[in-house]
Amino acid sequence: MNSRRPDDAPILQIEDLSVSFSTATGQVKAAENVCFKLYKGETLALVGETGCGKSVVASSIMQLLPNNAHIQGRAIYAGRDLLSLSEKEMSRIRGSEIAIVFQNPSLALNPIMRVSEQIAEMLQVRKGYPAAQSLELAGEMLHRLGLQGDDKMRMYPFQFSGGMNQRVMIAASMILSPRIIIADEPSKGLDGALAAEVMAEMARIKNQVGASLLLITHDLNLARNISDRMAVMYCGEIMEIGESEEIFSLPRHPYTAALLRCLPERGFQPIPGPSPSMIKPPAGCKFHPRCPNISEVCRRKPKMTRVEGRGTAPAGSESEIREVKCWRY
């Protein structure tokens, strides 16, 4: 884990990011006024139920959204707004400075090239390393992720299982020592024990290269285990952001509390009411129709509010910084 001072400069700052898609049935509001900071060396988990907009946020940062997307806001990295860069400028940053692990590895791998060579090629092309050295380093990275042996080095993506290809994607994302890794459901397709192992190795490699990790997942326990902070998204908006352990012990937003109650070890209680429409979301706080703490004011839009204090830590310890988008704060 990483100790961070609140006055540290972030390595990535997302400011008022809004994304909508034009579709035959209307405008899908996939992200609305999303703001967060990613600090150097930290792991920030972006969590929330399926369809809440997590992948859309990741793809926006990398300029990988399809043409029907309308994007507003800024993503400041190294003093520049990534959202306004040309494709040529962005392609220089992608992979080498900011890498992404996609949700679906089979779409991102070249089917007719050995996996080891795909990773080695990145070092040759982007860093100018000689072929033999690149292949050796690719082999080492694959080994760290549990894919060792000469036979694995000779294999093509179709010879690997989905879980193995997912690990190949993780290896590929880290081989160029990027400053930021965006991992979208990186443990998808891996079963429990292996997922934990791969994620732990990913965290170790990330620490070694001094990268920051934006971890996108709907696995709350994974987020708790490997992230320093957590941002909780609902229907395109961040509802709460703060230190992961603190959020787990004292969720402040009613949605976060409801999400945690869905966990088997916390009672397995589903959130009552239907998921909101992304085309015509509820006015005001989007969670209000399902919220147990609803009041009249919730029909108006709440602002993100900074809540200080530490709910569970001993008196006198440094206060955490929590931000919550709810009228109760």
Ligand X SMILES: Nc1ncnc2c1ncn2[C@@H]1O[C@H](COP(=O)(O)OP(=O)(O)OP(=O)(O)O)[C@@H](O)[C@H]1O
Give residues in contact with Mg ion (CB under 5 A). 55
**Coil, helix or strand for 264?**
helix
Pick one of ligand X, Mg ion, none as the site partner of residue 66 (Cβ within 5 to 8 A by kind).
ligand X
Site mask for ligand X (CB under 6 A), range 98-137, x = bound: -----x----------------------------------
Closest CB to ligand X among residues 135, 230:
230
Of 97, 88, 73, 72, residue with least CA distance to 182: 97
Binding residues for ligand X restricted to 34-53, rule: CB under 6 A: 48, 50-53
Question: How many angstroms separate the Cα of 191 from the Cα of each of 161, 199, 311?
Answer: 12, 12, 34
Which of 208, 275 has the CB closer to ligand X? Answer: 275
Beta strand residue intervals within 170-300, DSSP E = 180-184, 212-217, 229-234, 237-243
Residue closer to ligand X (CB basis): 28 or 202: 28
Q: Which does 67 bind (CB under 5 to 8 A by kind): ligand X, Mg ion, none?
A: none
Q: Choose the one of ligand X, Mg ion, none that binds residue 271, judging by a C-beta under 5 to 8 angstroms depending on kind.
A: none
**Is residue 92 classed as helix, strand or coil in its secondary structure?**
helix
Q: Is 94 helix (H, G, I), strand (E, B) or coil?
A: strand
The CB-of-267 to Mg ion minimum distance in angstroms stands at 26
Q: Around Cβ 269, how many Cβ atoms within 10 Å? A: 11
Nearer to ligand X, 218 or 328 (CB): 218
Return the number of other C-beta atoms located less than 10 Å from residue 177's C-beta: 16
Among 12, 14, 17, 30, binds ligand X (CB under 6 A): 30
**Cβ-count burial 56-95 (b if 16+ within 10 Å, e if not):** bbbbbbbbebeeebebebbbbbeeeebbebeeeebeebbb
At closest approach, how far in Å is the CB of 233 from ligand X? 7
Q: Does 282 bind ligand X (CB under 6 A)?
A: no
Contact footprint for ligand X (CB under 6 A): 21, 23, 28, 30, 48, 50-56, 66, 68, 103, 218, 278
